[in-house]
A and B are shown apart, each in its own frame.
Chain A
């Protein structure tokens, strides 16, 4: 039942642009000048996903991140492989639930902030006390 995947390109971030079909009709014997410049349509996966193994799309419920431009019903692209830093928008596990917060790492301690004054901060003494599920990289905001 084994399936072997032979020698392969190791760097998953590398994508090759090979020959694409021309988007413009080409009259025989008279090549379109645009043809040489067509390199494929914009590929959202290529631009929004750095590592396919660690990237997930999640949906937001609630209004606690409004000030960061993240609204109820928006989708977020979350990369689990990124190191959470001061200022990162993170998905943290709080009481067994995936929760979205702004991470603040200060000399005085670590804070999970809402971006809405209605919601209180959550303070811990060290990052290790938190379970950070992933770091949000993009918000797909419904306009």
Chain B
């Protein structure tokens, strides 16, 4: 192969936003710049995102807020409740922008994406720097870019770019001399690699595989025998052979979960019924939006892990009579949990999950089994009204009860929804 052709081999760029939630908060509140900042999980439970300054204080992901709060003033620590509408909009802007740099974009999570890229090494590094600069200018959040022949190496290159300031936020794996690549891989434990879970790490360690370099040098066939084909792919990807393709939309084989912790525990079957109704209708709307139907619904509730005396985690799995997105059927199915609910027990969370999803409408059910509600498009209608008039403006049965059900989330420290609500626009001072 001629070198000129070699240079045109397709590569993969992995782009992700640094400390995404914290960075999104800082776009509209520059006073947060340089200060230790954490964003809390649902219900203001624990730290889910930490700014570098918060990391420097020794705060860990998952630290509960009630433990940090007493010392926040002394540390100058600022905490924000999750502002999902803001993060969702900022994410959408970043992804739209990334899509301008590659015809193939795989949105991997709210703050990261893979892009298919092609060009000479210099061109690819330039592209990485351009992406970084344009996202910072247009949207206002910092990103790092890792570029490599495989997704696994692109992720690793990105991590390297984040930790080593010498890269300026952009690292192309093959542009780094091999001895430096090996030194890095020898230093990092296998747990640092994408797709390697804690449980697997223990088994790898038992085989004498400690570092990423050890894993790269492992025999792929032996790894497949001991673990799985998934793990073998990781080994091959570390060696530079692309094995994890750019994904087609996988949402169809996935699942949808709607589950929250409550600000105050709920204790009656009536309240649980209301929660399940709301989530069933949210699931219906989401399914309809993606043209999907579910075949299985799981409803669950649970007491707090801090409440050992009353521990109860009832759940039911309900096979649906036919693949459906119908809100009435999903709501009814979710209510199958109710007989398992014990009055007086303090439930701290509840939710539903729909699985076994399939595209709607490619197999027409027999007319006998056709569902009367779906014909009337109740699900999309509910979703449409909700979108226009806000969550809680309409609902079926028990989800329709208004007047602040007290199980909704606690979000006392949420910043304004700057980009999605006209009443909450960012303020600029004319003074």
Chain A residues at the B interface, C-beta cutoff of 8 Å: 1-8, 10, 12, 51-54, 56-65, 70, 72, 75-76, 80-81, 91, 93-94, 96-100, 114, 119, 131, 133
Contacts and interface: CB of A to CB of B under 8 A. Distances in A.
A73 to B, nearest CB: 10
A62 B426 contact: no
A97 B271 CA distance: 44
A2 B14 CA distance: 13
A101 to B, nearest CB: 8
Contacts of A63: 430-431
Given A56-B419, A70-B430, A72-B430, A96 B31 contact: yes
B93 A53 contact: yes
Nearest to B246: A4
A56 B248 contact: no
Interface in B81-135: 93-97, 99-100, 103-109, 114
Report which residue of B33, B97, B418 has the largest number of chain A beta carbons within 10 angstroms of its beta carbon: B97
Interface string B212-249: 00000000000000000000000000000000001111
Chain B interface residue bracket vs A = 35 or more
B103 A7 contact: yes
Interface in B26-57: 28-31, 33
B137 interface: yes
B359 interface: no
Contacts of B97: 53
A2 B113 CA distance: 9
B233 to A, nearest CB: 15
B111 to A, nearest CB: 12
Contacts of A1: 108-109, 250-251, 254
B96 A99 contact: no
Nearest to B103: A7
B200 interface: no
Contact of A12 (B28, B100, B105): B100
Contacts of B254: 1
B373 to A, nearest CB: 28
A62 B431 contact: yes
A75 B427 CA distance: 9
Closest 8 CB pairs of A and B: A96-B31, A62-B430, A54-B138, A2-B247, A62-B431, A64-B430, A7-B103, A59-B425
A15 to B, nearest CB: 14
A93 B246 CA distance: 40
A5 B99 contact: yes
A10 B249 contact: no
17 contacts: A1-B251, A3-B107, A3-B250, A4-B246, A4-B249, A5-B95, A5-B106, A52-B93, A52-B96, A53-B94, A59-B425, A61-B428, A61-B429, A98-B426, A98-B428, A100-B428, A114-B430
Contacts of A4: 104-107, 246-249
A5 B105 contact: yes
A81 B251 contact: no
Interface of B: 28-31, 33, 93-97, 99-100, 103-109, 114, 137-140, 246-251, 254, 418-419, 422, 425-431
B250 A60 contact: no
A81 B138 contact: yes
Nearest to B105: A5
Contacts of A7: 103-104
A59 B108 contact: no
Contact of A99 (B137, B422, B428): B428
Nearest to B100: A10
A2 B106 contact: yes
A16 B365 CA distance: 38
Nearest to B290: A3
B17 to A, nearest CB: 14
A36 B263 CA distance: 58
Given A64-B430, A72-B430, A131-B30, A3 B249 contact: yes
Nearest to B140: A80
A127 B172 CA distance: 32
Contacts of B419: 56-57
Nearest to B425: A59
A75 B425 contact: yes
A5 B422 CA distance: 29
Nearest to A72: B430
A61 B427 contact: yes
A2 B246 CA distance: 9
A91 B30 contact: no
Nearest to B107: A3
A70 B429 CA distance: 12
Contacts of B28: 98
Given A2-B250, A3-B250, A54-B137, A59 B107 contact: no
Contacts of A80: 137-140
